Structure 1
């Protein structure tokens, strides 16, 4: 066992460095980018740039939307039914749905989500241009919004 002291010290140092590299390694992002902007036209309800924030956990994904559309009256929590349709690269669409929103004061920007959807590894999703991209039902009134731009800085790519 003579001479094993330096080997044990070297092994301990290597093990410590390996453990520290795991601790300080950057977390893997499940979806990139995590946030994007796109412009929507919601007719008489207004329009403008909305911020979309995406998260992913396996095949489940959520998107929260902070829109430029304002509500003329106060809206209670979880009373806006929303559907966001995104175009999938290569064809098809993926929808995110939900009835989730914070309580909104009159004349405030509408925030929806998280809206839930199912994604597959490699899905690249962007603004949808072939119809209504975002639909909401507020107090029983349907609101349809068309996407005017692609997402910036780019589409959501899911891992």
Structure 2
């Protein structure tokens, strides 16, 4: 008779077999998991003309997750014309595509900003294809505030260090 503290050999073997199978499945899952995609460069700088908001340098930051991508614009040279609540700007960013066409990113995400604060818009969401090369020059950022004030920014030169290239 076995003591209450001992485990019968058949249960031990079954437990070991289950543990090995779970471990093998975990390793297989890691091997088959999709690889992370990345956009390069992750950030680019543009010179932007935003009319009444001002003109100057702006930074575009891009991310990618499969065919989903985001772009965020930040600038200390371009400032809020009035106090704005969080998520109060409806924005559409159109980037030109190498070889023709455009890709649009849109959303309503922005932090709260006081009059004169640096502008941040995004992340704006869009769809990309592997190999897309997207550039701000030739495109535009259209921002609608309170549903009726529309402001448009355009890049005055190609972005630096170059277009966003998506995996």
Matched, 1:110 2:119: yes
Equivalent residue number for residue 143 of structure 2: 136
Please point out which of 69, 73, 79 is paired with 2:88: 79
Q: Which of 86, 91, 98 is the equivalent residue of 1:89?
A: 98
Contact 2:137 2:159 in 1 (8 A): no
What residue in structure 1 maps to residue 61 of structure 2? 53
Task: Report deviation, 1:45.
Answer: 2.2
Alignment match of 1:146 (pick from 141, 154, 167): 154
Paired residue for 2:20?
none
Residues 85 and 128 of structure 1 are in contact (CA less than 8 Å); yes or no, is this contact kept in structure 2?
no
| Cα distance in 1 for residues equivalent to 2:134 and 2:80 | 28
CA RMSD in angstroms, aligned pairs only: 1.5
| TM-score normalized by the length of structure 1 | 0.78
Q: Which runs of 5+ in 1 are unaligned?
A: 1-26
Question: Do 2:46 and 2:159's aligned partners in 1 also have CA atoms closer than 8 Å?
Answer: yes
Q: How much has 1:128 moved relative to structure 2?
A: 3.5
Distance 1:154 1:37 in 2: 9
Deviation at 1:93, TM superposition (A): 0.4
Once the two structures are TM-superposed, the CA of residue 28 in structure 1 deviates from its matched residue by 6.2
Structure showing greater Rg: 2
